[in-house]
Amino acid sequence: MFELSRDHEEFRRVVRDFAEREVGPHIEQWDRDHHFPSHLVPQMGELGLFGMVVPEEYGGAGLEEGGFTYLCLAIEELGRVDQSVGITLSAGVGLGINPILTYGSPEQKQQYLPDLVAGKTLAGFGLTEPEAGSDAGATKTRAALADGQWTVNGSKAFITNSGTDRTSVVTVTARTGETADGRPEISAIMIPSGTEGFTVEPAYRKLGWHASDTHGLTFESCAVPEENLLGERGSGFKQFLKTLDDGRIAISALSVGLAQACLEAATDYAKTRIAFGRPIGVNQGVSFQVSDLAVMVEAARLLTYKAAWLKDEHDAGRRSVAEVKQAAAIAKLHSTEAAVTATRIATQIFGGNGFMEEFPVTRFYRDAKILEIGEGTSEVQRMVIARGLGLPQ
């Protein structure tokens, strides 16, 4: 079975110290101002957080085994202090670096990966559209190839890390034709920031993740060289399904961090909040809820790190894609729903204070809901799990 090594736990402490020192004291202000802390990105790069799954030749850690588990530990610890910073790392690696690392040509990897790993730049992944969310096959963005150039027209929605002052490139999925059976041919194309016809729309007004960068994107006769195709033409659908499988484990880690933060906040509050002359934690109505939080956190963490371990085992050639896909869906479904429940319980324990922005559980509550939606909704996870069980489709 799997277990975290001493090196993993030492790495966890390093990231926790960074999060508590560099993020914790400022996040209330960043959240209030909807400020993206761009200066943190190179600091995370210096810690090696963007390079856990990247070979040394591109500036990464070059870990032979366990790299994805290291990444999940970093995401959990950042997410424990703030979800916005956690998703910046999660998307920066899972949606920015991983597609280039997995499907890019040697030239594309050398052009983009070193700066992405160092935190000098960020990359985005444009999949979702206004009318194509869970139904990603309904993609309307189109790309036509002529005279050695792809001309892209369409729009994308809810794209993380797409409009920062560090964003260097966004990989977008687009219809590039039709397959032999008449289905849309979906390909992935890399579009550098600043390309003519590529417009980053104003930042969204979001319920949560206020310190994360999220924009809509528009492409109007946006031309890029033919060699900006990422991977094989027509393989975009398979590519983003694989990308989402890995990303679901990362979102699970982010959810574990949030649930852990709720457990710690609720436990401390139950010990110190005095009502009727004694700490509220002596009341079973409160202590049982805190106990439930502890169970949620433990279960979510075990499912998440089992999935991360299976991902590392798959990368080493010892586990199948199907095992990783099923474990990722199970971990994401349970962990994200546990995180949403945990924020509700923690807010209830805080009572009226839980409704006040001075207390972090208010931010936790706002940040939680998107976890059940991004990287595949809870409903999609149930479909994936059912399919993995062999149930009729």
Report the catalytic residues: 375
Read off the amino acid at residue 21.
R
DSSP 210: T
Report d(CA 120, CA 56) in Å as an integer: 17
Judged by phi (left if over 0) then psi (alpha if -120 to 50, else beta), residue 192 lies in: beta
Read off the amino acid at residue 114.
P
- What tokens appear for 54 in the block? 């990247």
DSSP 132: B
Separation in Å, CA 59 to CA 50, 69, 114, 118, 240 = 10, 19, 5, 7, 24
Report d(CA 368, CA 262) in Å as an integer: 11
DSSP per-residue string spanning 333-375: HHHHHHHHHHHHHHHHHHGGGGGSTTSHHHHHHHHHGGGGTTT
Angle at 108 between CA 98 and CA 186, to 5 degrees: 65
C-beta of residue 61 within 8 angstroms of C-beta of residue 54: yes
Separation in Å, CA 281 to CA 93, 270, 284, 287, 362 = 40, 4, 7, 5, 20
